[in-house]
Amino acid sequence: MSGSWKITLPCTRAEAEAIDAIGELPFDAVLMTTEVVLDDAEAWRLDAYVEHRPDAALLAALADLAPSAAGTEPDIEQLGDEDWLTMSQAGLEPLHVGRFFVHTGDAEPPAGSRAFHIAAGRAFGTGHHETTSGCLAMLDTLASDGRSFANVADIGTGTGLLAFAAVALWPEAAVTATDIDPIAIDVTRDNAAANAIAVGDGAGAVALIVADGTLDDGIVARAPYDLVIANILAGPLVSMAPELAAIAAPNATILLAGLLETQRETVVAAYHECGCTLETVDRRGDWSVLRLTAGAERFVPSAPFDPKGRDGWALDL
């Protein structure tokens, strides 16, 4: 290997949000967007980290993600043989949300906090994006309000952070963490070990399952869940509404994230059709985190689930 490479282009906040909402990339890279000038929607930056010398096709694909940078030559830097993904996230500041303290490197947690070390790695979810930090805050609020849960599902777990938070808040709960990406489940297993989180079945442990949505016998066998968390994107949240509602217990709490505020009505409508009621919205910038309550009777879908609906990872709603 000739070393790692970093490609940098200017972009706008709108472009950065669109980039953050991309699911599976058509090329092998890790993308990071950063606000360069505080509260300036035009002054953002796109950094792409790759393990090979960027070719014309890759540069063109990156340019398509930041059309405002048309005519600007990208800054291309060879990084050497370092762990390029770790470098892309190593500079993230620690995050303090409620009782949780999330860091990617060496940091001293505040007294009384529950610290999680989420290493810069190959999966989304260090807690720094508004959707993940919003879910942490909402989970913290539920616990502060005296709510308790015995059976939790974290659909699209990424790094496992939200599943770990559920175990920390409700140590007697059984938690199931799933992701469509096997790499994410490997990362979650590593992060669990680093944070002294038990992996396995039963109370106080996280069961790890590679699955497309809820399409796995292990997920269904553990249902119904009294807390369902899904921090993904608006497109799959809509297409997966019947199956997420189907694994929820009557009156279960459902947390949904990964959607823009402009997409909220469409997402809420999909879950309303499945008997769910919107309770709370936590808006963070252009993103929203939703807390819903499942119907008083367990939802029974009227048709088989269609995994083709997952194609909407970057659906413009």
How do the domains of the chain map onto residue ranges?
4-83, 122-312
Distance separating alpha carbons of residues 248 and 143, to the nearest angstrom: 19
Among 1.10.260, 3.10.450, 1.10.287, 3.30.70, name the CATH number for the domain at 4-83: 3.30.70
Would the pLDDT of 82 be above 70?
A: no
pLDDT of 36? 78
When pLDDT is averaged across residues 29-56 and rounded to a whole number, the result is 81
pLDDT attached to residue 117? 75
pTM surpassing 0.85? no
Name the CATH architecture for the domain at 122-312.
Answer: 3-Layer(aba) Sandwich (3.40)
pLDDT of residue 93: 59
Q: CB-based burial of residue 103 (10 Å sphere; 0-12 exposed, 13-18 middle, 19+ buried)?
A: buried
- The 3-class secondary structure across 261-275, one letter per residue, is HHHHHHHHHHHHCCC
Tokens in use for 112?
A: 């009384």
CB atoms < 10 A from the CB of 290, how many?
Answer: 24
Distance of alpha carbon 298 from alpha carbon 273, whole angstroms: 13
Confidence of residue 264 (pLDDT cuts 50, 70, 90): very high
pLDDT at 275: 97
Rounded to whole angstroms, the Cα distance separating 96 from 100 reads 6
Binding site residue list for S-adenosyl-L-methionine: 132, 156, 179, 231
Q: In what order do the strands lie in the sheet with 4-11?
A: 30-35, 44-50, 4-11, 75-80
* 248-260/225-231 β-pairing: parallel
Answer whether 149's CB lies under 8 Å from 183's CB.
no
**Binding site as annotated, residues:** 132, 156, 179, 231
Confidence of residue 80 (pLDDT cuts 50, 70, 90): low
pLDDT for the residue numbered 10: 95
